[in-house]
Chains A and B, each alone.
Chain A
Amino acid sequence: MEELFLSRNFKVPNAHTLRVYEANGGYQAMKKAFKMDGSAIIDEVKKSNLRGRGGAGFPTGVKWGFMPKDSDVPMYLTVNADEGEPGTFKDRYCMELDPHRLIEGCIITAWALGIRYGYIYVRGELQNAIRTLQRAINECYEKGYLGENILGTGLDFDLYVHSSAGAYICGEETGMIEGLEGKPGQPRLKPPFPAIVGVFGAPTLVNNVESISSIPFIIERGGEWFASMGVEKNGGPKLYGLSGHINKPGVYEAPSGITVRELLEEYGGGMREGSELKAFIPGGSSCAVLTPDALDAPMSFEGMREYGSTMGTGCITFMDQNTCMVRIAQRLAHFYHHESCGQCTPCREGSGWASKVLDAIEAGRGRKEDLELLLDMVDNVQGNTICALGDALAIPVRSYLQVFPEEFEAHIEKGCCPYPKWGKGKGKGKKVA
């Protein structure tokens, strides 16, 4: 892609400051939006085919349409910046390198929907992002882009950074809302959806960082232009995070619908020397694993579905021939067990059980019947929990068992793991955090 949008400022020195951001055309989209009425802005977002960039891919314009037109109480915008899906790291770049783009997107969103308050809910670990965003917000207050009667338009909008404190589950929208209210981040039953009853009982829009950062471009160039930068139903340029055994891991911008092969070869620099691609996860660890014969799968929600996986966050992890697939399944089960909020029995118990069975198989203590047991177990977790964390455990575990059954069998038959170890380690001490 010749012209960059979302990552345009990533390499511009001091682009996180208001001065440089404005010198590069920043806040012009906001000023343009102030001349449009809310429904015209929502129409552009609908036309843009922007799909939520947090992983679920719900059409953003449709979500905006769920917000009430006349609310008795002040409405809230919450930007979900609690990015913690293994393999996913793109939103951090948006916040640390181009915070004003996100803030500009927030202001346009507030104007379009009549929102009074906004919170950017950031992973507590991302101190650099929190500091950078806070500085950028302070600059906007000084300039009159935030606060009361913004630029004389009559828009009152206050925006705050809210620091989370290390809980993956707060990336789930209602878990995040609970966290914002100062409670343990245990997801809520839906309905009611946040657009009707969200944070502090008020109508709340929950959008991802990259989604909101895309809004200024949709206003600047129009929804149709944004849609043309992608494929059917999947609009826009998009950020892809590439990691694993590749030459050039990092965050890259490319159109929606680009193939995994193009991303790997043209952006990621191909596999490392001596590494051959064995498997990849297309959009964060909760997506089903794919093999090299799916390299031509397009990065779109519909396209990925045809290959039996999902687009997720669009952050791809590549694994080479020395990677033990049992260990990957074990590692991920451990992750989801650690991060389960404990509210629903199938997820709380199932994730721990799956993790223990996979530990045993990886250590060579597995039994043949364990494979069927695992499949049965994850079938009982999926779809039986309040939020999607249970599915996020079940989908990958099932996929590793189905795509690489021979590796599980080899572990059981040989009574050991046939692959090189990940560091020797001296065993797990007690966990302090």
Chain B
Amino acid sequence: MALQFSEETEKQFQELVSRYPNTQAALLPALLLAQSEFGWVSVEVMDYLAERLELNPAQVLSTATFYTMFNKQPLGKAHIQVCTTLSCALCGGYEIIEHLEERLGIRLGETTPDGKYTLAEAECLASCGTAPMFQITFSDGEIEYYENLTPDSVDELLDELDKKLEQLPAPAEMH
């Protein structure tokens, strides 16, 4: 099989598996780990995990497709998920989406042509007291919350991120 965890990820994988009485229980954290290593969860990644965890590929597929955090396609280097559930909607979550659509020149669900940003809407991210907010998942697996957003603070943040993202690989190139 062509895919293989790096040495560092392999260590983390072994540690994860040791936490559970059977290998299937490690599947959610292992999928997250694989996603940060390989950028997104392709069929190839799922098959690799099935083999590593001694599971049927269908078990991996059914779990990977149930949870929203596993990306089944390559996204931008920064996957921006704007919360628009109750408190965020009340406090300006939709205005933030509108502002991002204008600034990035894309609509919800799309990726910028330079491959930097993918814009999406997310359901309640447990940040109601600091609404509106978005979460960004970077192509290296890091996840960050950005809270109490205004259109101005979003602009400032994106100016900074533009530079940071130059350093990150695009998920599509990761495997």
Contacts and interface: CB of A to CB of B under 8 A. Distances in A.
B163 to A, nearest CB: 22
Chain A binding surface, main DSSP class: loop
Interface in A240-264: 241-245, 249-251
Nearest to A336: B123
Interface string B109-132: 110000000101111111111110
A255 B101 CA distance: 44
Interface in B1-52: 19, 21-22, 24-29, 31-32
A424 B75 CA distance: 25
Interface in A139-167: 160, 162-167
B130 A88 contact: no
B73 interface: yes
Given A423-B98, A426-B98, A432 B126 contact: no
A335 B128 contact: no
Contact of B32 (A163, A245, A328): A163
Contacts of B121: 428, 431
Interface string A318-338: 010001000010011001001
Interface string A274-310: 0000000100010000000000000000000000000
B87 A244 contact: yes
A361 B86 CA distance: 19
Interface residues of A, number: 64
- 10 interchain residue pairs of minimum CB distance: A423-B94, A182-B27, A429-B109, A184-B66, A165-B67, A166-B68, A166-B69, A243-B128, A182-B24, A165-B69
Interface of A: 83-89, 91-92, 123-128, 160, 162-168, 179-185, 200, 241-245, 249-251, 281, 285, 315, 317, 319, 323, 328, 331-332, 335, 338-339, 341, 422-433
9 contacts: A123-B126, A126-B126, A182-B55, A184-B62, A245-B91, A317-B86, A422-B94, A423-B95, A425-B98
